[in-house]
Amino acid sequence: MTNSDVTTYSAFERKLLESYFSVVDGPDHADIYLVHGLPAEVAATLNGVYSRSSKSMRDQFLDRLRQGVESQGKTLEDLPLPAGKKDELSSVMADKSGKFLKTYAIDHGHNSLREGSVVHLAVERVSQLVTRFIQRERRCSFEESSTRYIPFTAETYYRDPDVVAAGGDVLADYDAVLEETFALYTRATKHLLDHLKSIRPLAEGENQGAYNRTLKAECFDAARYLLTPAIYTKWGMVADARTLSDIISELRSHPLAEFRLVGERIKEQAEQVLPTLLSHAKPNAFQQSLHEGLPKIAAELGVAKTKTHVGPATGHTTLLRFDDNLDNRLLASLLYESSQLPFSALVERVQAMTAEQREQLLDKVLATRGSHDAWPQGFEGGDMFEFETVLDFGAYRDIGRHRKGFQQQQLLTTAHGFAVPPLMQEAGLGDDYVEVMTRTAERQQRIAAQLPDAAAYVTPFGFLQRVRLIFDPRQVAYFVELRSGPEGHFSYRQVALDMLEHVRKVTPLFAKFIRAQEGGAFLGRLDTEMTADERRQRRMEAAGDA
């Protein structure tokens, strides 16, 4: 939402919003507010619609409420306003609980007590950069605006205050990147969609709505390579007090001003319901020393930078480490809870089987696994797969959601070159794209020479980054099955298929049972959208009957 799009609410709407959201008129940047008092399923729904809507959570709430009452022949103003008052008993209990938590959770360090208090926050008008930093946290639940379902042509972007203070060439380069990449993104979203319609017209029997969504997803998947981490996004977060305290401390200890501001505003909002449990969420001297010291150490060792490549480049995935006895260990792990033998004895028993017997055993275990059934938990019992992948930052935004495992991303840079989406070339925008990205790399590197952290804001999604992914076998299988789907983005889909190819070479039995989808993408994506419509209609009919 741009600053000019801030909604003006009626007096009744304002009173209604004040009952459930801690802020009604948020700031232009870092609009963060508490969601409270809503039924749990309503709050979950509002969190979920972020991915396909450009509207704020407050506006989504009003829209859905209005649709509901109008379906009953009423108007929004016919609703009674919530009382919005705390009873005396609640106040007494809150005061008593605060004293207890201060004594045991704060003074005596019983941190597990903090996990019993959960808050729901909406975080809006913040950069993609601070978003990626926060969403590394594995103990939270997040829902964010999707770059494949929502055009970002109406969004604004963040200007780092250190860059603004530096002025001169640094500020000129920063603004030039934002202006030029955003202009081509805006032009590309329309041009690519027109191109797709011309080469792939609606066929007989295809659903118009599913067809439109499929083409838009293809279009946005390519155009998003021009978006920068400075572009604003929005997301919902559900976290317990212990996790939230850690996040706030990390943000308030960060060298970038936006991170510190977001940390302060999250704390300010969450303290309305967690006044005691966030008292230690302060800047941390040790974390600050790491931000300052590790880059210096890397520079002293001569490992801070790599040879710079300016221009188109191709990503790749490498398998760094694996368990060379994984197939046997996984079968032993599956049997462990049903046995009384030591794990080593189970491994020996499985090793004594023939290859055919091992395959039959695994087939028997997995024979009834449905299309949405999780892999058995025993598949976490093998040693980790460690991958290193060089991929575009846009794809890593999606891969980063797989927080069950260890992930490391190096500082955003333009040193590894940039990916060129095939659709850009096919639609005749390839030369324009390469020219813009090449100039962007030069400008970003000049900024990085003075302000390396702030330069990340102007490193578009199309630039390649180096990332480590360490997943247990169960997570590898889940990742490959999910991300190889034809409806997925072509870049992370390739990462999933590359990972599978590595797994096939070193653990063939395990790999045989991974249900990867290795066919073409467009028709598969269209089929997915069409069946999604059918599933949605059946759910609506069932809900109506209920």
**pLDDT tier for residue 6 given thresholds of 50, 70 and 90:** low
pLDDT score recorded for residue 99: 52
- What's 214's domain CATH number? 3.30.1360.170
- What pLDDT shows up at residue 187? 95
pLDDT at 520: 62
- 3-class secondary structure for 269-282? HHCCCCCCCCCCCC
400 in any annotated domain: yes
Q: How confident is the model at residue 163, as a pLDDT?
A: 98
In a domain, 405, yes or no: yes
Greatest C-alpha distance within the chain: 76
* pLDDT for 80: 84
Instruction: Write the DSSP symbol of residue 383.
Output: P
Q: Is the pLDDT of residue 525 over 90?
A: no
- Of 59, 79, 56, which is closest to residue 69 (Cα–Cα)? 79
CB 358 within 8 A of CB 509: yes
What are the pLDDT digits (tens) for 13-44?
A: 999 999 999 999 999 999 999 998 887 778 87
Average pLDDT over residues 67-96: 67
- Range with the lowest mean pLDDT among 139-143, 445-449, 530-534? 530-534
pLDDT of residue 94: 44
Residue 216 lies in a domain: yes
Q: Is pLDDT larger for residue 533 or for residue 400? A: 400
Identify the pLDDT of residue 104: 45
241-284 confidence digits (pLDDT tens): 889 999 999 999 999 999 999 999 999 999 988 877 787 899 99
pLDDT band at 521 (very low <50, low <70, confident <90, very high): low
Q: What is the pLDDT of residue 403?
A: 82
What is the mean predicted confidence (pLDDT) over 491-517? 93
The share of the chain scoring above pLDDT 70, in percent, equals: 87
Cβ atoms 397, 492 nearer than 8 A: no
Task: Express each pLDDT in 319-366 by its tens digit.
Answer: 999 999 999 999 999 999 999 999 999 999 999 999 999 999 999 999
Band (532; pLDDT cuts 50, 70, 90) = low
Mean pLDDT of 116-143: 90
Q: What is the mean pLDDT of residues 117-121?
A: 88
Structural domain including 305 reads 1-84+103-322+383-546
pLDDT band at 97 (very low <50, low <70, confident <90, very high): very low
Model pLDDT, residue 152: 82
The tens digit of pLDDT for each residue in 470-483 reads: 999 999 999 999 99
Task: Give the contacts of 415 (CB within 8 A, at least 6 positions apart).
Answer: 305, 306, 307, 308, 309, 445
**Is 60 exceeded by the pLDDT of residue 96?**
no
pLDDT digits (tens, 9 = 90+) for 146-170: 777 778 876 789 999 999 999 999 9
Average pLDDT of the chain to the nearest whole number:
87
Query: Under a CB-based contact definition with an 8 Å cutoff, are residues 485 and 521 in contact?
Result: no
In 271-393, where do the E strands start and end? 309-312, 316-321, 385-392
Q: Say yes or no to pLDDT of 86 above 90.
A: no
**3-state secondary structure (DSSP) of residue 50:** helix
Q: Which residues contact 424 (CB under 8 A, 6 or more apart)?
A: 188, 192, 222, 225, 430, 433
Q: Tokens at residue 471, please?
A: 């997943």
Distance, CA of 392 to CA of 406 (rounded, Å): 19
At residue 475, the pLDDT reads: 95
Structural domain contains residue 311: yes
Q: Which two tokens stand for residue 413?
A: 């840079």
Q: What is the pLDDT of residue 88?
A: 45
Give the three-class secondary structure for 117: coil
The two tokens of residue 38 are 């809503």
pLDDT value for 3: 40
pLDDT at 111: 56
Regarding predicted confidence, which is higher, 527 or 355?
355
pLDDT digits (tens, 9 = 90+) for 187-213: 999 999 999 999 999 888 888 888 888
Residue 214: inside a domain:
yes
Distance of alpha carbon 6 from alpha carbon 25, whole angstroms: 8
Residue 485 has pLDDT above 90, yes or no: no
Rounded to whole angstroms, the Cα distance separating 153 from 182 reads 8
pLDDT score, position 546: 42
Which pLDDT score is estimated for 1? Answer: 34
The DSSP string of 133-202 is: HHTT-TTSEEEE--TTTS--TT--B---HHHHHH-HHHHHHHHHHHHHHHHHHHHHHHHHHHHHHHHSPP
Q: Of 7-16, 78-87, 289-298, where does the model show the most confidence?
A: 289-298
Q: What is the pTM of this model?
A: 0.85
Domain count, the chain: 1
Average pLDDT, integer, range 439-446 = 98
